[in-house]
Amino acid sequence: MRCRIEMLPKSPLKLPLHYPEIVQGLIYRMLSDKASSTQLHDHGLRQVGGKPVKLFAYSKLLGKYRIDRNNKTISILGSVDLVVTSALDEMVYDLATSLLKADRISLHGTEMQVRQVQLQSYCGRNTHNQIRLLSPVVTYRTITQPNGKKFTQYYKPGTEEFDTLLRQNLALKANALGWQVTSKDVDLSLIPVNAGAIRERIILFHGSPIHAWDGDFRLQGSTKFIELAWNAGLGGKGSSGFGVFDVFSQGR
């Protein structure tokens, strides 16, 4: 399930270009169950083999904006939407209820009127879909070098490694929900419509660069795994603001 939140700044909203951590902070603050909010932030609401699985993701701020590259800021022009999605319905209900009760919230020091909160459930039934990314998609692997130092290797859509990690990530989320599957059971592929037109986005999160990808894609697979990706996020780092998508064209 997901909620789409429409907000209107009371005064001009100016944010750093790399703002996902600010939006993440808003989400954690607005959860009414503070114990669950702390658990979600620190350890995830579910774990698989000791690995925390947060099972939520959120979009970019959606609306008209102006970028000032010299000062590395983005100014929101008018109302703005935010999509927060989770495989745990109770989290979405909690967030939506808190936002409606609050009526007004603060984002980076700017007062925002909560104009509307819409709850949405996945209703697709097709195995071939064209999707629109509402936040870029990420897959990565942490590699330990011979000297013991670790680094993060990111992968590009359309490569075998990307697809493998995409399925592994979705299997992890499925197991966190008690499905008991392996990555071999995950029937899902993300295919660039035009491989030459996809765009790399390098986004700083708490000062660390995340290499993500944007563009037009086809998402193919079984409906249950497409629905899980729609709810829990596609790929990694969903809780840092990645992997949210909408289906805008359905095939068979």
Known catalytic residues? 28, 41
Alpha carbon 240 to its chain centroid, in Å, reads 7
Please return the burial class of 137, using the count of CB atoms within 10 Å of its CB with bins 0-12, 13-18 and 19+.
buried
Distance CA 147, CA 177 (A): 37
Q: CA distances (Å), 248 to each of 129, 130, 157, 168, 213, in order?
A: 8, 6, 20, 25, 19
- Phi then psi dihedrals of residue 172, to 5 deg: -60, -45
At position 22, the amino acid (one-letter code) is I
**Helix (H) or strand (E) run with residue 101 in it:** helix 89-102
Distance CA 82, CA 58 (A): 7
CB neighbours (10 Å) of residue 108? 14
Q: Are 243 and 217 in contact (CB under 8 A)?
A: no
CB neighbours (10 Å) of residue 150? 8
